[in-house]
Amino acid sequence: DVKVTQSSRYLVKRTGEKVFLECVQDMDHENMFWYRQDPGLGLRLIYFSYDVKMKEKGDIPEGYSVSREKKERFSLILESASTNQTSMYLCASLGLGFTDTQYFGPGTRLTVL
Amino acid sequence: GEDVEQSLFLSVREGDSSVINCTYTDSSSTYLYWYKQEPGAGLQLLTYIFSNMDMKQDQRLTVLLNKKDKHLSLRIADTQTGDSAIYFCAEFSGGADGLTFGKGTHLIIQP
């Protein structure tokens, strides 16, 4: 079974803090994604990566950066957290091949005070 | 860009069938998916259908695809309280940016 794990289920940070959200997948997938989920807005893609050290902006990259130093790990960084970044953050991975699909981690609920 | 639309809420009585509908715009979609998200949890893949299929059945779940109208539906037979969740429709056309998701349909079960 594919496993996508995220470093924290719940996180509380203060405005201005630097925040790291870690995601690890164990299926050797090439593609990894970070989404945020907010009521009424569905899933919005922040960044994705299709290979080590490669990254692409999604729909809402402002205020975020990412790091993919190893294939299995994709980190989302909030350089200076703000209250409007309070949200549920979901990581996903996707392999290559016709029967593959995106597998999601359990999510990190981040609250910025 | 591609778009996936679905209703935000659906309310059904326990024991009835639920039908969640979804429309999409990308005619090059290869796979279409249904994900389930229970409160406080991540997204769990429920089922998927390849674009050259019309129907797929898996126990209480039936997926219908009308490729001409770009319409996908998920039918849950004998809906139970454990089916209460948000259901996301998604399509994949092979792009590096992954799946395109709808905003999710909240399925509310009334006793």
Q: How far apart are CA A38 and CA A6, in angstroms?
A: 18
Predicted pLDDT at B40: 79
The residue in chain A having the minimum alpha-carbon distance to the alpha carbon of residue B32 is: A101
3-state secondary structure of B50: strand
Predicted pLDDT at A97: 57
Residue A1: Cβ within 10 Å count: 5
Predicted pLDDT at A105: 93
Predicted pLDDT at A31: 87
The residue in chain A having the minimum alpha-carbon distance to the alpha carbon of residue B97 is: A48
Instruction: Give the pLDDT band (50/70/90) at residue B7.
Output: confident
Q: State the nearest Cα–Cα gap between B50 and chain A, in angstroms.
A: 9
Compute CA distances B30 → A93, B6, B45, B83, B95, whole Å.
Answer: 18, 19, 16, 27, 10
Predicted pLDDT at A100: 60
Residue A100 or B69, more confident: B69
- Residue B96 with chain A: CB contacts under 8 Å: 31, 48, 50, 56
CB contact under 8 A, A41 and B96: no
CB contact under 8 A, A92 and B98: yes
Predicted pLDDT at A29: 87
Residue B111: Cβ within 10 Å count: 6
Q: What is the average per-residue pLDDT within B51-70?
A: 93
Of residues B87, B88, B95, the one with CA closest to residue B29 = B95
DSSP character string of B61-92: EEEEEETTTTEEEEEESS--GGG-EEEEEEEE
In tens digits, what is the pLDDT along chain A, a chain of 113 residues?
Answer: 668 999 999 999 999 999 999 999 998 888 899 999 998 788 899 999 988 988 989 889 999 999 999 999 999 999 999 999 999 999 999 876 545 678 899 999 999 99
- Which of A43, A51, A93 is best to mutate for the B interface (most B CBs within 10 A)? A43
Q: Quick: pLDDT tens for B11-40.
A: 899 999 999 999 999 888 888 999 999 987
Q: Quick: pLDDT tens for B85-101.
A: 999 999 988 777 888 89
Predicted pLDDT at B65: 95
Q: State the nearest Cα–Cα gap between A47 and chain B, in angstroms.
A: 9
Predicted pLDDT at A40: 79
DSSP character string of chain A: ---EEES-SEEEE-TT--EEEEEEESS--SEEEEEEEETTTEEEEEEEEEETTEEEE-S--TT-EEEEEETTEEEEEESS--GGG-EEEEEEEE-SSTT---EE---EEEEE-
The backbone torsions φ and ψ at residue A77, rounded to the nearest 5 degrees and listed phi first, read -120, 130
Beta strand pairing status for B100-101 and B61-66? Answer: unpaired
- Residue B30 with chain A: CB contacts under 8 Å: 98
Query: Which residues are bridge partners to A77 per DSSP?
Result: A20, A65
The residue in chain A having the minimum alpha-carbon distance to the alpha carbon of residue B102 is: A42
Predicted pLDDT at B28: 84
Q: How far apart are CA A100 and CA A89, in angstroms?
A: 22
Angle at B72 between CA B24 and CA A101, to 5 degrees: 80
Chain B CB within 8 Å of residue A92 CB = yes
The residue in chain B having the minimum alpha-carbon distance to the alpha carbon of residue A6 is: B42
Q: State the nearest Cα–Cα gap between A7 and chain B, in angstroms.
A: 14
